[in-house]
Each structure stands twice: as structure tokens, then as C-alpha cells.
Amino acid sequence: MQVCASCHGADGNSAGGAYPKLAGQHPEYLVKQLRDFKTQPGARQPARNNAIMAGMAAALSDQDMVNVAAYFSTQTPKPGYAHNKNTVALGQQIYRGGIADRGVPACASCHGPTGQGIPSQFPHLSGQWAEYSVAQLTAFAQGPGARNNNDAMHAIASRLSDNEIKAVADYIAGLH
């Protein structure tokens, strides 16, 4: 846990947006993400390409991953806050209603109205650092080589502009 805590915080609430908050995240989702940092048999590269996490995940057994995920899932997430009052309305519109003319579904349709997600399928988003969410949405938009572990998110994020990504990420940061 000390290794994880150096970036994600002892209680899963990282100190800044470079690293995600893991507190309160669904354990099944955390295990899947840890596995995605490892190159699986028959694959040329991991589904999630991150040199730091690849090294960390490589040292974990399947049981270690389950244990780490169980620990972080039981921690209490600290609330986050939206910081840009000028984009809250746009972020809320995308999160709650999507962008129909571009085939962008509402984020809430999978992640829930308060960002709690659906265990094992969709992650808990509420209170996540906006900087981290921007980085992940951008990686999804870039697709192969950046983040290859969710085709639906690749399709959705690739239809968002940089400003829309920033607006919805900031909205998510303040979602409760």
C-alpha cells in the first residue's frame, strides 16, 4: 500500500490531478484497470499504456490486485469542486444530456446522475480531478496507442472538442 499511497494517497485521495482519486472506486473496476496495465498473453502491448503503472502492476499478483482494489474501494472519497464557472453549464449539459447531433450520449446514462457509476462496468467519477479526467478523455479520443481498453469511450471522446472535454471534466470534479 505504501507504493500506491505515494501517488494515490494513503486513503486513495490523491493530492493532485496528475493521479486519480481511487477512494470509493468499484473494486472490480480497479482490478480491471490494473490488469489492463499488464501485457496480456497474445498481446503486443497493454490495453493501457503507462510506463509508471505498467511497472507497478507488473509486480502485483492477481490476489494483490484484488487486495489493493478492496482497500481503496472502502475508503471515503473527498469531494471535488468545479473550478470554471464559465463552463459549468456546458459540462452539465454534456454530462446529463449528451450532444445528440454528434452521437454523444449523456455521461449520466452509464456513470449515473451523481457519478457513482455501475460496479464492474462503469467507474465512479464524482469528485475526480478535472485534470485527470481531461487526460483520460483525451487519451480515449486519441485511441490506439493511448488508451485501448474501452471502444465505447473511444468513440464518444473522439466526438468531443477540447473545450467540451475540459467542461465535462470540470463538471465531474464538482459532481456529488
pLDDT mean for each 10 residues of the chain (176 residues): 90 97 97 94 89 93 96 96 97 98 97 91 96 96 80 94 98 96
Going through 32-137 in order, the beta strands assigned E by DSSP cover none
- Kindly state the helix (H) or strand (E) to which residue 32 belongs, with its residue range: helix 27-36
CATH number of the domain that residue 27 is part of: 1.10.760.10
Q: Are the C-beta atoms of 91 and 172 separated by less than 8 Å?
A: yes
d(CA 73, CA 94): 27
| 97-100 contact pairs (CB < 8 A, 24+) | 99/159, 99/160, 99/164
Same-domain status, 102 and 164: yes
Same-domain status, 94 and 154: yes
Same-domain status, 34 and 96: no
Domain that includes residue 139, residue range: 88-173
Number of domains in the chain: 2
Same-domain status, 92 and 165: yes
Residue 24: count of CB within 10 angstroms of its CB: 20
- For residue 83, being part of any structural domain is answered with no
Distance of CA 66 to the CA centre of its chain: 18
Identify the pLDDT of residue 121. 86
Q: Which of 44, 73, 102 is the last residue of a domain?
A: 73
pTM, full prediction = 0.94
Same-domain status, 65 and 124: no
Residue 125: count of CB within 10 angstroms of its CB: 27
